[in-house]
Amino acid sequence: MSPASKASGNPSIWDALREETPLQIVGATNAYHALLAQQAGFRAIYLSGAGVANASFGLPDLAMTTLDNVLEDARRILGAVTLPLLVDVDTGFGGPLMIERAIGLLDDTGVAAIHMEDQVAEKRCGHRPGKVLVETAEMLERLRAAQAGRRRKEFAIMARTDAVAVEGLPAAIERSLAYIDAGADMIFAEALTSPEDFRAFTQAVPVPVLANLTEFGKTPITSVDAMREVGVKLLLYPLSAFRAASLAAQRVFEAIRQEGSQESVLESMQARAELYQVLRYHEFEERLNAHLGNDK
């Protein structure tokens, strides 16, 4: 199914997928990184649960943040860019009525798509050990609640399955087919470990499949062309920029503290002129001057 796009506002994830397949979706933990992603030419962006927890609250990704936390970051990002935003809603933030409410609020905010997973509420990172899944019937209930909360038909509901690492590939495919029957528009196949597994998965699953190409995880770093060959339609890079920015910040802090100045790390910094270009600083400054009568 490929619903029609919105009449106004940001394009849908379906629009982006028609323009680019596989669709590269990069994570942005804040509005400024979203602007950089848009400037780089990406057609879709992502807000991860780990990104909200790590970047906004300094917490691990262990179900310690709330719907309101996610909504606030989503609103800030959508206020800055004109790209479809995929949002991680973990296990839905509660029971069926809460899931229904969460999806409605995210849809109203302008989010283009969400993914919801089949772990228990006390979820783990998808590339960590110790994951525990709910029964298929409970995940189907979550998906039905998500559909009840959806306002717009082009709002995409993606079901994430963590079953490959827990129950094996055949069980993950079986679960995914049930999730599609329950209304999932797309499937997020988490923690697959080879292109062959992705090929088997995409051949068995009749909706667009997403591969999580996160760094330092169970899925090997793989090129767009290689993923295209095995039938994957969406490629996710959830925290790549955040990891790079965090290492850069760490090195800058250490240099200033240990060397007494930032001179040795200046070349690794974005220049003021580049920052202003991304933010359209001079355009806004001219508008401010006009308001204040200082444009003469």
Which of the residues are catalytic? 46, 61, 88, 90, 115, 117, 125, 160, 190, 212
Residue 211 three-state SS = strand
CA-CA distance, 3 to 151, in Å (whole number)? 13
Q: In one letter, which amino acid is 106?
A: L
The encoded tokens of residue 242 equal 């955040």
**Which uninterrupted H or E stretch holds 225?**
helix 224-229
End-to-end CA distance of the chain: 56
Q: Distances in Å between the alpha carbon of 162 and those of 81, 124, 188?
A: 31, 10, 9
Q: Which residue has the tokens 């991860």?
A: 48
Q: Cis omega (within 30 of 0) on the bond before 195?
A: no
Question: Which of 264, 293, 219, 238 has its CA nearest to residue 85?
Answer: 238
Question: Which of 118, 136, 123, 28 has its CA nearest to residue 78?
Answer: 28
Instruction: Report yes or no: 94 and 116 within 8 Å, Cβ to Cβ.
Output: no
Sequence-separated contacts (24+) of 34-38 with Cβ below 8 Å: 34/77, 34/80, 34/81, 34/83, 35/80, 35/81, 35/278, 35/279, 36/241, 36/278, 37/81, 37/83, 37/241, 38/81, 38/82, 38/83
CA angle 47, 66, 35 (to 5 degrees): 25
